């Protein structure tokens, strides 16, 4: 990390990635860059960061940024426009369509990356002034089932516990959560509890992810059967006399029905094992651990939420905690780990189609209350369309105008190819974005609005434990970029609502949001920021991380919920839920015999808009891949490092094959991150079925029936250029971040002549081109004034070209310079990098462990430095140690 330059004050802000919500200290360098460090005083991370957070300084450049409003012209091109023209176009277009077709013909699609203030203004405009409720968000793909599960059980979307519970628990159950990669800083906190206090960790997941490396017990559950496991647990707890009868009787209803249903689904350990595909002894071990441990936290995330039965799964988990009274007390409770940085803030605002505002729904008194608070002329009267329904309505032509803010639905939604096609039919398609080009923007946008990015915008986010932190600006707004709340307010003013959208600052918006949460809130609603409603601008600027319920009175109010009941239902009692028996919506078949699971990798975030700019982060897993069990790989004729087509009824992708016994037989795993911008054919959203949960509307992204077949591409190689290029038609490619320009990993059936032609057309230009053909290995390098401007190397797939070999063979008298550049940029590395902080290759760690130089994590740190900074790679280092010990027992 660069030494801080002291001429600008350091700024305390919050990481823009996952729901852990780490505090950061940013030291701007005055040249558009900044040094980033964890904030030791922030209660979410106490100074720690993961690989993504620590690489934020490498992602601040303006390359590819959208800096001015753009409007679609009659000839189909996009041209720069002035802000007033762009605002007029949006306002007039929305008014025209609403006047003609009603408010349900327009929709906003928001994002968990928006700040609370942005969310608040967009939600208010749609639900109070345009008269519809078609406001949904990419959080629908992330944690909507947790929201629905909380509301069914608690009467409110309340996360009962705090991160501190993970320090105090004696048993941590992680189900459907690869926390080691998706919530790394929080996971390291759990690991510390295990190491220092002896807490036990149970990991429940169809895949043996790196999270399982820290597990005392790993349960490789069959996809979609979590409900049965927790029903079996409830039955077991009842039979062992572990029910907290006093709590159940005083604070809950529906226990008998829930237990009866659990007995139908999983009457005993043997039945539980049968349904879940688990070993009965392992099931018994888990049940015994849960029974015997009072302080237990059950963490769940996308593996539970992203399911057509996600809400039932969440409630089956909550049932076990309610039944034992293990909720809201130190070290106890169900804990939803939120995926996105401000998914929780969006929930607080009510920026989901089935919420109205500030944890209020669509009952008549709630609609009336919000109408009076906003002085709203045209209130929404019913729920809007949730994400998948919203895009289906666009496909059918029922929604005619869509405004997308800070997200990329053409990549992330199920049937993403169909979504992309539907966007092209819109009468009015508005996108507020940071970047000039992405799959959504390229689907026929009419109005493109430049939004402020992380580091430029100012506002609040809320993390998984209900802690509100400030994201603060430390860079000037580039070009004509504006905060999202400002853009929406300008449109609202232009539509005639100036009195209600006269905000001058993010602080103005936040104060109103806080006031609404407290409006006529006599304790009937959990969410109440009334203490912040009168805060001054200075107080907002210096706001310390604040967890709600906000501390009021003496002694301050408890920061956990429900230890003594007090649920937010009409009778203040929690509801046990009797879940449906687990059943995946679609069965596998001879044509599609596998289950396709999708998810995140350690060093990338969503569609890589920001993380994809860091060469350091790209080095971990640079190419899109499918993970497949060795047994399945053998049967399908797949080889590790080869290519495969993965297909479903909805689409197909071609990705590299990773053969791994971490994968469950019969299942495939493909990461979500690659888009049409970063790879030729790796948009996994295209393959995902649109089945949704009946309560949450969250799509099933973990179990689409799929097929896999080998793809033979006889030549492999790479090209590196100063600018983005189009590779010859039919080439498989993946773009990889490098320090300057772009690197493309490629595989092809095209012979050397096609690449010779490409080199002349694309690489040469004003450059001097050096070429070499050696058998069917083709190499070319372009130099301008002795500087390497671009290079290309293609050779047989069974002996793919190496960068260092290319450097030695290239002509032009610049070997030394070229070799130095290659070495500096790590582009010679063909093996993935395991430690992003110090650029340590996986192979180097493997060799050190195999030859005995490093026998444990401390040795690896001492000899190679890997794992000694952010710690994100520690679980993978442990996995290598275990595997090498098995392979080479001493
Ligand atoms: S764990 Fe990593 S990605 Fe998540 S908030 Fe912290 S630094 Fe950011």
Query: DSSP of 220-275, one letter per residue?
Result: -PPTT-HHHHHHHHHHHHHHTT---HHHHHHHEE-HHHHHHHHHHH--SHHHHHHH
Query: In whole angstroms, what is the distance from residue 575 CA to residue 151 CA?
Result: 9
Query: In whole angstroms, what is the distance from residue 355 CA to residue 361 CA?
Result: 5
CB–CB of 489/501 below 8 Å? yes
Integer angstrom CA distances of residue 312 from 149, 224, 275, 305, 688:
7, 11, 16, 10, 21
CB neighbours (10 Å) of residue 765?
A: 12
> From the DSSP assignment, how many helices (H) and strands (E) are in the chain?
30, 34
Distance of CA 394 to the CA centre of its chain: 24
pLDDT, tens digit, for every residue of 267-314? Answer: 999 999 999 999 999 999 999 999 999 999 999 999 999 999 999 999
CB–CB of 790/720 below 8 Å? yes
DSSP, residue by residue, 163-231: THHHHH-SEEEEES--HHHHSHHHHHHHHHHHHHH--EEEEE-SS--GGGGG-SEEE-PPTT-HHHHHH
Ligand 1 atom nearest the C-alpha of 184 is 1
Positive or negative, the CA dihedral 698, 703, 709, 712 is positive
Ligand 1 atom nearest the C-alpha of 21 is 5
| pLDDT above 80 for 138 | yes
Ligand 1 center to residue 316 CA distance, Å?
29
Ligand 1 center to residue 173 CA distance, Å?
21
| pLDDT above 70 for 824 | no
| pLDDT above 50 for 822 | no
| pLDDT above 90 for 888 | no
| Dihedral angle computed from the Cα positions of residues 243, 249, 250 and 254, in that order, rounded to the nearest 10 degrees | 100
Ligand 1 center to residue 35 CA distance, Å?
16
Q: Which of 117-121, 366-370, 605-609 has the lowest mean pLDDT?
A: 605-609
Q: H or E element: which one contains 547?
A: strand 546-547
Q: Where are the beta strands (DSSP E) in 5-81?
A: 11-14, 23-28, 34-38, 70-72, 78-80
Pocket test for ligand 1, best of 1, 13, 14, 18 (most atoms within 8 A of CB): 18
CB–CB of 854/845 below 8 Å? yes
Which residues surround ligand 1 with Cβ inside 6 Å? 15, 17-18, 20-22, 45, 49-50, 52-53, 183-185
Query: In whole angstroms, what is the distance from residue 69 CA to residue 445 CA?
Result: 12
pLDDT, tens digit, for every residue of 341-358? Answer: 999 999 999 999 999 999
Q: Which of 323-332, 537-546, 714-723 has the lowest mean pLDDT?
A: 714-723
Integer angstrom CA distances of residue 58 from 29, 184, 621, 623:
12, 19, 18, 20
pLDDT of residue 69: 98
pLDDT of residue 838: 82
pLDDT of residue 374: 98
Query: In whole angstroms, what is the distance from residue 68 CA to residue 86 CA?
Result: 10
pLDDT of residue 169: 98
Ligand 1 center to residue 38 CA distance, Å?
10
Ligand 1 center to residue 188 CA distance, Å?
11
pLDDT, tens digit, for every residue of 186-217? Answer: 999 999 999 999 999 999 999 999 999 999 99
Give φ, ψ of 602 to 5 degrees.
-60, -45
Positive or negative, the CA dihedral 824, 830, 836, 842 is negative
Regarding beta strands 625-628 and 652-659, do their DSSP bridges make them parallel or antiparallel, or are they unpaired?
A: parallel
pLDDT of residue 806: 52
CB neighbours (10 Å) of residue 501?
A: 21
Beta bridge partners of 781: 770, 791
Query: In whole angstroms, what is the distance from residue 781 CA to residue 807 CA?
Result: 9
The angle, 0 to 180 degrees and rounded to 10, between the axes of the packed helices 857-864 and 842-850 is 120
Using 50, 70 and 90 to split pLDDT, how confident is the model at 831?
low
Mean pLDDT score, 583-589: 94
Nearest CA to 489 among 479, 481, 497?
497
Mean pLDDT score, 492-514: 98
Mean pLDDT score, 660-682: 97
| pLDDT above 90 for 886 | no
CB–CB of 468/547 below 8 Å? yes
Place of tokens 């906000």: 550
Nearest CA to 338 among 89, 78, 493, 144?
144
Mean pLDDT score, 45-59: 96
pLDDT of residue 739: 78
| pLDDT above 50 for 813 | no
| pLDDT above 70 for 266 | yes
Pocket test for ligand 1, best of 36, 184, 620 (most atoms within 8 A of CB): 184
Place of tokens 């017990």: 217
CB neighbours (10 Å) of residue 637?
A: 12
pLDDT of residue 819: 40
pLDDT, tens digit, for every residue of 598-646? Answer: 999 999 999 999 999 998 999 899 999 999 999 999 999 999 999 999 9
Q: Is 879 helix (H, G, I), strand (E, B) or coil?
A: helix
Ligand 1 atom nearest the C-alpha of 54 is 7
pLDDT of residue 803: 57
Ligand 1 center to residue 186 CA distance, Å?
9
Q: Which residues contact 531 (CB under 8 A, 6 or more apart)?
A: 514, 550, 552
| pLDDT above 80 for 802 | no
Query: In whole angstroms, what is the distance from residue 209 CA to residue 770 CA?
Result: 45
| pLDDT above 70 for 805 | no
Token digits for 298? 């059950």
| pLDDT above 50 for 137 | yes
pLDDT of residue 721: 86
Using 50, 70 and 90 to split pLDDT, how confident is the model at 887?
low
| pLDDT above 90 for 852 | no
Pocket test for ligand 1, best of 37, 52, 191, 471 (most atoms within 8 A of CB): 52
Pocket test for ligand 1, best of 36, 39, 53 (most atoms within 8 A of CB): 53
Ligand 1 atom nearest the C-alpha of 463 is 5
């Amino acid at each position: 990390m660069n030494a801080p330059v002291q001429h600008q004050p350091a700024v305390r802000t919050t990481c823009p990635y996952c729901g852990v919500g780490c505090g950061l200290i940013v030291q701007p360098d005055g040249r558009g860059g900044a040094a980033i460090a964890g904030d030791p005083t922030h209660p979410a991370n106490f100074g720690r960061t993961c690989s993504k957070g620590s690489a934020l300084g490498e992602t601040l450049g303006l390359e590819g940024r959208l800096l001015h409003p753009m409007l679609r012209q009659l000839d189909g091109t996009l041209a720069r426009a002035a802000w007033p023209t762009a605002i007029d176009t949006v306002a007039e277009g929305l008014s025209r369509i609403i006047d003609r077709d009603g408010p349900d013909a327009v929709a906003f699609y928001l994002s968990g990356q928006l700040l609370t203030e942005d969310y608040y203004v967009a939600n208010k405009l749609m639900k109070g002034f345009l008269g519809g409720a078609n406001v949904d968000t990419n959080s629908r793909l992330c944690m909507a089932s947790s929201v629905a599960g909380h509301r069914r059980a608690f009467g409110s979307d309340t996360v009962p516990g705090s991160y501190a519970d993970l320090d105090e628990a004696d048993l941590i159950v992680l189900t459907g959560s690869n926390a080691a990669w998706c919530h790394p800083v929080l996971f390291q906190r759990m690991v510390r509890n295990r190491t220092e206090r002896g807490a036990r960790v149970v990991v429940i997941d169809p895949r043996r992810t790196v999270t399982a490396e820290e597990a005392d017990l790993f349960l490789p559950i069959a996809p979609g059967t979590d409900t049965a496991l927790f029903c079996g647990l409830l039955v077991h707890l009842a039979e062992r006399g572990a029910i907290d009868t006093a709590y159940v009787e005083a604070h809950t209803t529906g226990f008998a029905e829930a237990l009866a249903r659990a007995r139908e689904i999983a009457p005993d350990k043997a039945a539980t094992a049968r349904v879940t595909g688990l070993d009965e002894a392992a099931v018994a071990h888990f049940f015994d651990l849960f029974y015997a441990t009072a302080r237990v936290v059950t963490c769940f995330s996308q593996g539970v939420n992203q399911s057509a039965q996600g809400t039932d799964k969440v409630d089956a988990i909550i049932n076990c905690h309610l039944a034992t009274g293990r909720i809201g007390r130190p070290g106890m409770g169900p804990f939803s780990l939120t995926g996105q940085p401000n998914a929780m803030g969006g929930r607080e605002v009510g920026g989901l189609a089935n919420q109205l505002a500030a944890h209020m729904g669509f009952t008549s008194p709630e609609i009336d209350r919000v109408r009076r608070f906003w002085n709203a002329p045209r209130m929404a009267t019913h729920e809007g369309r949730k994400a998948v329904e919203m895009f289906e309505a666009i496909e059918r032509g029922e929604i005619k105008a869509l405004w997308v803010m800070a997200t990329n639905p053409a990549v992330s939604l199920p049937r993403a190819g169909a979504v992309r096609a539907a966007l092209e039919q819109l009468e009015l398609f508005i996108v507020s974005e940071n970047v000039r080009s992405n799959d959504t923007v390229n689907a026929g946008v009419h109005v493109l609005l430049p939004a402020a990015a992380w580091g430029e915008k100012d506002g609040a986010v809320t993390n998984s434990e209900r802690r509100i932190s400030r994201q603060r600006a430390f860079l000037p707004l580039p070009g004509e970029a504006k905060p999202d709340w400002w853009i929406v307010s300008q449109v609202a003013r232009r539509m005639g609502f100036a009195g209600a959208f006269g905000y001058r600052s993010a602080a103005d918006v936040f104060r109103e949001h806080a006031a609404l949460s407290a409006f006529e809130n006599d304790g009937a609603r959990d969410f109440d920021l009334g203490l912040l409603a009168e805060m001054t601008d200075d107080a907002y600027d210096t706001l310390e991380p604040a967890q709600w319920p906000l501390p009021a009175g003496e002694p301050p109010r408890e920061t956990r919920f429900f230890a003594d009941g007090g649920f937010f239902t009409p009778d203040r009692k929690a509801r046990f839920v009797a879940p449906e028996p687990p059943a995946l919506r679609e069965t596998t078949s001879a044509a599609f015999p596998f289950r396709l699971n999708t998810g995140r990798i350690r060093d990338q975030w969503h569609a890589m808009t920001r993380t994809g700019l860091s060469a350091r982060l790209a080095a971990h897993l640079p190419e899109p891949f499918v993970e497949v069990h060795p047994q399945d790989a053998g049967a399908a004729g797949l080889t590790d490092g080869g290519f495969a087509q993965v297909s479903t009824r909805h689409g197909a992708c071609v990705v590299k094959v990773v053969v791994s016994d971490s994968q469950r037989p019969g299942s495939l795993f493909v990461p979500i991150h690659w888009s049409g911008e970063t790879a030729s054919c790796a948009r996994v959203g295209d393959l995902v079925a649109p089945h949704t949960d009946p309560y949450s509307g969250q799509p099933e992204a973990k179990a689409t029936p799929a097929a896999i077949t080998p793809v033979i591409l006889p030549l492999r190689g790479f090209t590196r250029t100063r600018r983005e290029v189009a590779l010859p038609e039919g080439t498989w490619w993946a773009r990889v971040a490098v320090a300057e320009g772009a690197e493309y990993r490629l595989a092809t059936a095209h012979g050397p002549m096609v690449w010779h032609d490409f080199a002349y057309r694309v690489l040469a230009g004003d450059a001097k081109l050096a070429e070499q053909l050696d058998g069917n290995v083709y190499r070319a390098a372009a130099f301008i004034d002795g500087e390497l401007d671009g290079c290309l190397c293609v050779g047989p797939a069974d002996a793919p070209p190496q960068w260092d070999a290319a450097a030695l063979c290239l002509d032009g008298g610049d070997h030394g310079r070229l070799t130095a550049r290659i070495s500096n940029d790590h582009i010679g590395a063909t093996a993935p990098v395991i430690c992003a902080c110090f650029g340590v290759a996986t192979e180097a760690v493997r060799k050190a462990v195999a030859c005995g130089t490093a026998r444990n994590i401390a040795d690896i740190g001492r000899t190679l430095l890997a794992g000694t900074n952010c710690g994100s790679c520690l679980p993978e280092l442990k996995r290598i140690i275990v595997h090498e010990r098995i392979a080479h027992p001493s």
